[in-house]
Amino acid sequence: MIVVDTSAWGVFFNGAPSPIANRLAAALDTGEPIAIIPIIVTETLQGFRTEAGFVKALALLTRLPLLEPSLDAHVRAARLYRSLRRKGVTVRGTIDCIIAAICIDTNAALLTLDRDFEHIAAHSALELVRC
């Protein structure tokens, strides 16, 4: 199963040809298991300028299985953040640690363009989808 981060959804919905948009399109076309995290839905939808784009994206995103973070997932995200800091890695956003913790907990690989996740993956069990 893969989780698609906001950065990948943004490229995909903008229609810009790129390896990450092609990888996501292929996953959708072949029925590869894709899951979504609520905060990624929020981040993705807030980027739309038109109502039509918002509605189209909402229809697609709400068809995907939802990975709801538990309180324990948030605690593990805090532990991950602290662990990374001890290793000299500063993650710019708390949300990235929550997304990473959920992916690690569910053995989901993350499709993303966000370089913070590369740093997290280098120092944790987070698996990234390579394009």
Bridge partners of 34, per DSSP, are: 2
What per-residue confidence (pLDDT) applies to 90?
86
Tens-digit pLDDT profile for residues 40-96: 999 999 999 999 999 999 999 999 999 999 999 999 999 999 999 999 998 888 999
Which one, of 114, 16, 38, lies nearest residue 24 by Cα?
A: 16
State pTM to two decimals: 0.92
pLDDT (mean) for 22-43: 96
Q: Is the pLDDT of residue 17 over 90?
A: no
**Strand-pair partners of 36:** 66
pLDDT, position 112: 96
Q: Domain boundaries in the chain? A: 2-61, 71-128
Q: DSSP label at 3?
A: E
> Alpha-carbon distance 127 to 47, whole Å?
26
The answer, yes or no, to whether residue 16 has pLDDT greater than 90, is no
- Give domain 71-128's CATH number out of 3.40.1010.20, 3.90.1150.10, 3.40.50.1010, 1.20.1050.10: 3.40.50.1010
pLDDT score of 102 more than 90:
yes
Phi/psi of residue 120, nearest 5 degrees: -65, -45
- What's the rounded mean pLDDT across residues 21-28? 96
Order of strands, sheet of 34-35, starting from the edge strand that comes earlier in the sequence: 34-35, 2-4, 109-111, 127-128
